[in-house]
Chain A
């Protein structure tokens, strides 16, 4: 009997030990409370279809819904949102979405297929600048058709594996037709009428953005929290101070913390927070304007490619983490990325830098025997100011003397968009799709939304298009390997520095939050709740 009791006790202990994690996961969600986090800059403009900064996405993510969404509890998986189900034709060129009925806009108007049609007519219009959703869908979608009030159909140009992930992107949110007709765009706070779990409540420029629970959200279980407050905190020092003071509950977004900042935060908050390292699917690049001197000259672009010491840049700025030089990050993209051994052996990426620096100096001296002076533009956000100083210092070694010109975040984007710069000294671009096509569609093709360098390379356009169309995985991988080798040979206006990584934190009271595969795809806080 005693033996039986001991065995039973042992079994119970084992179950308790092994079941620790599931027991916590089974904790009942709690309603109420306010989530606090931050935006690194003031977004200023809020139109999710035309703007590209992360801040715009963060400011509006919980306000809107998409046809589909990345599951907040399992961000690798795509689930229904305003479309409750969807199907593809046998040849993969027609997708039919069946829309949810009874959904209301935040102003009480009913949602229907007309809103979906108006949204995609806007995004797909040839002359409409849509650097995110438009960049994803314009190459794929031929037209959108309304079948009835609750059915829409997308006709694709060719079968594309990236179509459904693109539709689920947080940048392809559905806007209200009546708001687009009334306001003409979605830039202002008054235009933020969505169907999402939160209503846009308040925007104090330079200070904070606030959402409140949408009591009419179509899924009555959500959201758990009463609201979300997003403080606008410019600069790492201010962000770190807010985190240390417990003012923000979450730091899962750009810019990441460095190792020493994370240690400082851990010392201040102890076990109240969880700190983790996460590659945020973001690539750091230097953009050389190819439409004006001196970088209309391919020799000068090659010189910059050769001169940048990516390893040193990452060592100093990110204290050793990150993936220097890669066009695709092998940690995120697996075998779609070139092996790092190959990347690290290529001119511009190899160590030591002596040989590449000599060649870079020769190329500069060939055209500018006394060196040259240029203006280097940079947005004064995150740690860009630190990064650009290092970039400028490295370029000075080859005779390119840069003077740094800083811009406030939104003003910088405006200058970049107009092409009114010589060099963008540092700029991160977060991928909005976990697909190997993403960096090329965003940065390198002639029509890419962030091809600020305005570099047009027919080979890149051709290969990027083939990559989208190719159905055979091995052939597709070979296309992307060719693209990477082509870019690593240098001469492109967009010079990749590497893939950013860093430290992040979460307040342990914040439950059911899961970092997504991109920084954009889990910012709705729909299923997040706060424990006591």
Chain B
């Protein structure tokens, strides 16, 4: 009887791990080597979740002013009520949505516009580069908060105008940073090679420069979200940001000014929220910079 022999297992060549495994490995390494960044990421994650789930998480409407005023934190109102009888917890939760909306939208617009501006002018050089960089000099010459206040005074008080003011603030910084990155990149051999084989300018930009400057873009993005949230809070605190009944953390701080002695919790919780979120975003931003920075990548052991 012919004994059936089990064929030896086929040896397949070892390929790259599936994307999920790669992501898991990246996250594992990120957690191991960037513990503070992980804390930041958790805080940012919580902020995003809070913002997305605000209607479900908030016990009351953020503008609902039908409770007793100055109730201390306790049962029914975990963070107390403010001077107009609104639930502070609900306003802090909805404030996360406003902060994230303002932060992400303004940074996405401002950094993207600035990055494209810096990239294109750096690549082509010549008089457009010189001219636009002088404009950047002018805009960067103004102290940011003064420029933002001036813009808000002209534009008027609304959430969308805050975003517009932030875009105008962020664009020059992003343009200048991206320009310096691209000035270095365009001298590299692979860019010269691409041009030598006849690639069009736009192909060089989008095929070679954009992917290779993505690290700079990501760092600009993460670092400036915190900045945008602080500027929005500052503008609202000064009475020139979001309309007063919008649940802005900065606006909540302003409203608390008159009752700091009597009801310190009105200022405490939005203040805590701003500090925590900015702390988290900065930790996260630093970690992202470390991961994307080629010079630091060896220390991180990144991909």
Task: Tell me if chain B binds chain A.
Answer: yes
Indicate whether A404 sits within 8 Å of B243 (C-beta atoms), given known contacts A264-B261, A389-B84: yes
CB <8 Å contact, B258 and A389: no
B208 at the A interface (CB under 8 A): no
Cβ-defined contact, A389 with B262, below 8 A? no
Contact B64 A385 (CB under 8 A): no
B64 and chain A: residue at smallest CB distance = A393
Cβ-defined contact, A389 with B157, below 8 A: no
Tally chain B residues at the interface, Cβ within 8 Å. Answer: 21
Among A386, A390, A396, A403, which residue has its beta carbon within 8 angstroms of that of B255?
A: A386
Which residue, B69, B83, B245, has most C-beta atoms of chain A within 10 A? B245
Q: Are A316 and B84 in contact (CB under 8 A)?
A: yes
Chain B 156-184: CB-based contact to A (< 8 A → 1; otherwise 0): 11100000000000000000000000000
- Closest CB-CB distance, B267 to chain A, in whole Å? 11
| Min C-beta distance of A412 to chain B, whole Å | 13
Contact present for A237 and B157 (CB under 8 Å): no
Contacts A260-B262, A316-B69, A385-B244 given: A406-B84 contact, CB under 8 Å? no
| Contacting residues, chain A, for B69 (C-beta < 8 A) | 316
Q: Is A405 an interface residue (CB 8 A)?
A: yes
Bound form: Cα–Cα A333–B1 in Å: 123
Instruction: Kindly state whether residue A152 has any CB partner on chain B within 8 Å.
Output: no
B259 at the interface (CB under 8 A from A): yes
Interface membership of A236, Cβ < 8 A: yes
Q: At the interface, yes or no: A240 with Cβ under 8 Å from chain B?
A: yes
Given contacts A260-B262, A261-B258, contact A389 B65 (CB under 8 A): yes
Indicate whether B215 reaches chain A with its CB closer than 8 angstroms: no
For chain A, what secondary structure do more than half of its interface residues adopt (helix, strand, loop), or is it mixed?
helix
Interface string of A210-242 (1 = CB under 8 A from B): 000000000000000000000000011100100
List A241-267 residues whose CB lies under 8 Å from chain B. 260-261, 264
Which residue from B158, B239, B244, B259 sits with its C-beta under 8 Å from A389?
Answer: B244
Question: A392 at interface (Cβ–Cβ under 8 A)?
Answer: yes
Contact of A316 among B63, B85, B243, B259 (CB under 8 A): B85
Q: Are B157 and A386 touching (Cβ within 8 A)?
A: no
A388: nearest residue on chain B (CB-CB)?
B244
By a CB distance below 8 angstroms, the chain A residues around B261 are 264
CB of A472, distance to nearest CB on chain B (Å): 47
Is A380 an interface residue when CB atoms closer than 8 A count as contact?
Answer: yes
Contact between A240 and B244 (Cβ–Cβ < 8 Å)?
no
Q: How far is the CA of A352 from the CA of B63 in the complex (A)?
A: 22
- A-chain residues with CB within 8 Å of residue B155 when the two chains form the complex: none
A385 / chain B contacts, CB cutoff of 8 Å: 239, 244, 255
Q: Which residues of B contact A260 (CB under 8 A)?
A: 259, 262
Docked pose: A28 CA to B84 CA in angstroms = 47
Q: Which residue of A lies closest to B257 (CB)?
A: A237
Q: Is B239 in contact with A390, judged by CB distance below 8 angstroms?
A: no
The answer, among B245, B255, B258, B262, for a CB contact under 8 Å with A392, is: B245
User: CB-defined interface of B17-42 with A at 8 Å, one 1/0 digit per residue?
Assistant: 00000000000000000000000000
Of chain B, the residue at the smallest CB distance from A387 is B84
From residue A264, how far is it (CB to closest CB) to chain B in Å?
6
The distance in angstroms between the C-alpha atoms of A237 and B64, with both chains bound, is 24
A residues 379-425 near B (Cβ < 8 Å) are 380, 385-386, 388-390, 392-393, 396, 403-406
Complex CA–CA separation, A236 to B239 (angstroms)? 13
In the complex formed, the residue of B with least CB distance to A406 is B157
Please name all residues of chain B whose beta carbon is closer than 8 Å to the beta carbon of A386 when the two chains form the complex: 83-84, 255
Chain B hits for A316, CB < 8 A: 65, 69, 83-85
Closest CB-CB distance, A251 to chain B, in whole Å? 14
Q: How far is the CA of A79 from the CA of B65 in the complex (A)?
A: 49
Complex interface bits, B65-103 against A, C-beta within 8 A gives 1, otherwise 0: 110010000000000000111000000000000000000
Task: Indicate whether A404 sits within 8 Å of B258 (C-beta atoms), given known contacts A316-B69, A386-B84, A393-B63.
Answer: no
Q: Is the CB of A390 within 8 A of B84?
A: yes
**Smallest CB-CB separation from B256: which chain A residue?**
A237
* A505–B249 CA distance with the chains assembled, in angstroms: 33
Q: How far is the CB of A75 from chain B (nearest CB, A)?
A: 30
Number of A interface residues, CB 8 Å? Answer: 21
Give A260 to B70 CA distance when docked, in angstroms. Answer: 11
B239's partner among A380, A392, A393 (CB-CB below 8 A) is A380
CB-defined contacts of B244 to chain A, threshold 8 Å? 385, 388-389, 404, 406
Please tell me if the beta carbons of A393 and B157 are within 8 angstroms of each other in the complex.
Answer: no
**In the assembly, what is the distance between CA of A316 and CA of B83, in Å?**
7
- A236 near B258 with CB under 8 A, answer yes
Complex CA gap A390/B82 in Å reads 12
CB distance from A346 to the nearest CB of B (A): 23
The residue on B at minimum CB distance from A392 is B245
Q: Please judge, given known A-B contacts A240-B258, A390-B65, whether A406 and B245 are in contact too, CB under 8 Å.
A: no
Q: Which residues from 69 to 91 on chain A have a C-beta closer than 8 Å to any C-beta of chain B?
A: none
Q: A388-B244, A389-B65, A404-B244 are in contact. Are A264 and B157 (CB under 8 A)?
A: no
Contact in complex: B257, A264 (CB < 8 Å): no
Per the bound structure, the CA–CA distance linking A202 and B264 in Å amounts to: 39
Query: What does the 1/0 interface line of A188-212 toward B look like (CB < 8 Å)?
Result: 0000000000000000000000000
Q: A380 vs B64: C-alpha distance in the bound complex, in angstroms?
A: 21
Shortest Cβ distance from A401 into B: residue: B63
Inter-chain CA distance A403–B63, complex, in Å, is 12
> Of residues 42 to 85 in A, which have CB atoms within 8 Å of B's CB atoms?
none
Contact with A along B247-284 (1 / 0, CB 8 A): 00000000101110110000000000000000000000
Closest A residue by C-beta to B259: A260
Binary contact track A20-53/B, C-beta < 8 Å → 1, others 0: 0000000000000000000000000000000000
- For A396, what are the chain B residues with a Cβ–Cβ distance below 8 Å? 63
| A393-B258 contact, Cβ under 8 Å, with A388-B244, A404-B244 | no
Shortest C-beta distance, A127 to chain B (Å), equals 32
CA distance A261 to B257 in the complex (A): 11
Cα-based distance from A403 to B244 in the complex (angstroms)? 9
**How distant is B92 from chain A, measured CB to nearest CB, in Å?**
17
Q: Which residue of B lies closest to A236 (CB)?
A: B258
Are A406 and B239 in contact, CB atoms less than 8 angstroms apart? yes
A421 and B158 alpha carbons, distance in the complex (Å): 17
Closest approach, in angstroms, between the C-beta of B262 and any C-beta of chain A? 5
Instruction: Give the chain A neighbours of B64 by CB distance below 8 A.
Output: 393
Give the nearest-CB partner of B260 in chain A.
A237
| CB nearest neighbor in A for B263 | A260
Instruction: Tell me the chain B residues, 216-259 only, with Cβ under 8 Å from chain A.
Output: 239, 243-245, 255, 257-259
A440 to B100 CA separation, bound complex (whole angstroms)? 49
Q: Are B262 and A264 within 8 A (Cβ)?
A: yes
What are 22 inter-chain pairs, A to B, with CB distance below 8 A?
A235-B257, A237-B257, A260-B262, A264-B262, A316-B65, A316-B69, A380-B239, A385-B239, A385-B255, A386-B255, A388-B244, A392-B245, A393-B64, A393-B65, A396-B63, A403-B158, A404-B244, A404-B245, A405-B156, A405-B243, A406-B157, A406-B239
A235-B257, A385-B244, A386-B255 provided; 14 other pairs, C-beta below 8 A? Answer: A237-B258, A240-B258, A261-B258, A316-B84, A386-B83, A389-B63, A389-B84, A390-B65, A393-B63, A393-B64, A393-B84, A393-B245, A396-B63, A403-B158
Using a CB–CB distance below 8 Å, which chain B residues touch chain A? 63-66, 69, 83-85, 156-158, 239, 243-245, 255, 257-259, 261-262
Residues of A that sit less than 8 Å from B by CB: 235-237, 240, 260-261, 264, 316, 380, 385-386, 388-390, 392-393, 396, 403-406
Sorted from nearest, which 8 A-B pairs have the closest CB atoms? Answer: A237-B257, A393-B65, A389-B245, A404-B243, A385-B244, A237-B258, A236-B258, A260-B262
